[in-house]
Amino acid sequence: MDAIKYACLTVVLVFTIIQLLVVYAADNDSDSSSRDYTKYEEMVDIPGGEFTMGTDARNAKDGEGPTHDEKVKPFKISKYPVTNYAFREFVRAKKYKTDAEKYEWSFVFDDFVPEEIKNEIPERIQGAPYWIPVKRAYWRQPEGKGSGIESRMHYPAVHISFQDAKAYCQWKGWRLPTEKEWEFAARGGLKGKTYPWGDKWQKNRLNLWQGKFPKKNTKHDGYHGLAPVDAYPPQNEYGLHDMVGNTWEWTSTRFETAQTSPADDPNSTYVLRGGSYIDSKDGKFNHQLRVSTRMSNTADAGSDNLGFRCAQSVGTKKTGKLPEDTRSKPSKPEVKEIKEGETVKQKRPNPADLRGKKKPTSNKKKEAKSEL
Ligand SMILES: [Ca+2]
């Protein structure tokens, strides 16, 4: 009898331990590896100086050209984009809720949205049906309910709005880089070059879209969607990773200098830099990836190719203080009963690449235009 008792007790104990482990894993998005993710929070010293910003290329767009002379003071900038691991530390410490959580949805690229979710979402964006507005998609569940970051701690945090990015950097005692600083850093000390490493295109230095967008991605660079922040070697002599490709990154620079809206207004527009995994080598679709690539978006924008990195003025100290949340509260999506034949327009931000193109249309099987 004793043997049976011991056997039962052992089974119960083992079962309890397994349950505890499962609960712990679910609560902590734990990664089984003992990897040191804090190394991705390193800042790099950038010397500052004068430089020629922008490009005179004929296909310059979104104010990328003409070139002009600029000057920046010495500063520091993150070696990598801010990772899921680092962003999670911030969220845990400050119980921070991102704009995507407040809106209760964000944009996910079509290829990563399960069919059953697509079928539930009849709306698409005119000219860009490959951006799907997915409910409850945010940094911790980048493809919506059921997705997670357990194995993606060293991936860039995405679905991050301007205000989210700014709040994270301020909590670290840092700030967002200005656009000038971002480009100075990306150029890595080189003058007038197309890429952070020089003028010659080099494979496997960045994560982009290879193949015919949006139907085919050959993934020669190893990644269909996002890549880990250290998937490729540093892109320049400053040792910076992922400046070009993978995710767009917020800067603190207003896109339209004449904007009079408050800085925290969801409709204020800011410059994004770096391009993302849906951009291209030659600009035949989406943006051409180079050191001067830029565009803008509203402060509340969110999608699975939109992240950030931080900067720091030389001589400042860490405060660890979160700035007062002065954001204009994004109104919650209106929840209305939908009568037959009625359409309901919900308030929602833009995906990274489509400022001002968020007018929804019905989900017809249309070919996406190759140019945004
Ligand atoms: Ca790729």
Is residue 194 within 8 A of residue 281, CB to CB? The reply is no
Q: How far is the CA of 245 from the centre of ligand 1 (A)?
A: 9
User: What integer is the mean pLDDT of 133-147?
Assistant: 95
Q: How far is the CA of 287 from the centre of ligand 1 (A)?
A: 14
List phi, psi (to 5°) of 221. -85, 0
Q: How far is the CA of 311 from the centre of ligand 1 (A)?
A: 26
CA of 368: how far to CAs of 92, 125, 317, 359, in Å? 39, 10, 48, 15
Residues 320-362 have pLDDT tens digits of 555 555 555 444 333 333 344 443 344 566 776 666 545 444 4
Rounded distance, CA 144 to CA 121, Å? 13
Cα dihedral 91, 265, 247, 241 sign: negative
List phi, psi (to 5°) of 170. -65, -35
Q: How far is the CA of 212 from the centre of ligand 1 (A)?
A: 12
Q: How far is the CA of 341 from the centre of ligand 1 (A)?
A: 40
Q: What's the pLDDT band for 108 if we cut at 50, 70, 90? A: very high
Q: Count CB-CB contacts under 10 A for residue 222.
A: 11
Q: How far is the CA of 114 from the centre of ligand 1 (A)?
A: 20
Q: Which of 21-35, 51-65, 225-239 has the lowest mean pLDDT?
A: 21-35
For the domain 43-313, what is the CATH code?
3.90.1580.10
Q: How far is the CA of 358 from the centre of ligand 1 (A)?
A: 25
- Which pLDDT belongs to residue 30? 56
Q: How far is the CA of 279 from the centre of ligand 1 (A)?
A: 9
pLDDT surpassing 50 at residue 97: yes
Residues 257-301 have pLDDT tens digits of 888 888 888 889 999 999 999 999 999 999 999 999 999 999 999
Q: How far is the CA of 305 from the centre of ligand 1 (A)?
A: 12
**Radius of gyration over every alpha carbon of the chain, rounded to an integer in angstroms:** 22
Q: What's the pLDDT band for 364 if we cut at 50, 70, 90? A: very low
Q: How far is the CA of 176 from the centre of ligand 1 (A)?
A: 26
Q: How far is the CA of 184 from the centre of ligand 1 (A)?
A: 25
Q: How far is the CA of 93 from the centre of ligand 1 (A)?
A: 33
Q: How far is the CA of 228 from the centre of ligand 1 (A)?
A: 11
DSSP string, 294-351: EEEEETT--BTTEE---EEETT-----PPPP--PPPPPPPP--PPPTT---PPP----
Q: What's the pLDDT band for 26 if we cut at 50, 70, 90? A: very low
Q: How far is the CA of 227 from the centre of ligand 1 (A)?
A: 8
The pTM (predicted TM-score) of the whole model is 0.81
- Which pLDDT belongs to residue 208? 98
Both structure tokens of 5: 């008792």
- Which pLDDT belongs to residue 298? 94
Q: How far is the CA of 27 from the centre of ligand 1 (A)?
A: 31
Residues 188-226 have pLDDT tens digits of 999 999 999 999 999 889 999 999 999 999 999 999 999
Residues 46-95 have pLDDT tens digits of 999 999 999 999 999 999 999 999 999 999 999 999 999 999 999 999 99
Q: How far is the CA of 210 from the centre of ligand 1 (A)?
A: 6
Q: What's the pLDDT band for 256 if we cut at 50, 70, 90? A: confident
Ramachandran class of 34: left when φ > 0, alpha when ψ lies in -120 to 50, beta otherwise: alpha
- Which pLDDT belongs to residue 351? 75
Helix (H, G, I), strand (E, B) or coil at 53: strand
* Helix and strand element counts for the chain (H, E): 6, 13
Q: How far is the CA of 235 from the centre of ligand 1 (A)?
A: 16
Q: How far is the CA of 362 from the centre of ligand 1 (A)?
A: 29
pLDDT surpassing 80 at residue 31: no
Q: Three-class SS string for 259-302?
A: CCCCCCCCCCEEEEECCCCCCECCCCCCCECCCCCEEEEECCCC
User: What integer is the mean pLDDT of 247-254?
Assistant: 98
Residues 142-194 have pLDDT tens digits of 999 999 999 999 999 999 999 999 999 999 999 999 999 999 999 999 999 99
Q: How far is the CA of 206 from the centre of ligand 1 (A)?
A: 8
Both structure tokens of 370: 């190759």
For the chain, the domains span: 1-30, 43-313
The amino acid at 359: K
Q: Which of 108-122, 198-212, 219-233, 241-255 has the lowest mean pLDDT?
A: 108-122
Helices (H), the chain: 2-28, 84-94, 99-103, 115-120, 162-171, 179-187
End-to-end CA distance of the chain: 74
Is residue 274 within 8 A of residue 241, CB to CB? The reply is no
- Which pLDDT belongs to residue 129? 87
Q: How far is the CA of 276 from the centre of ligand 1 (A)?
A: 9
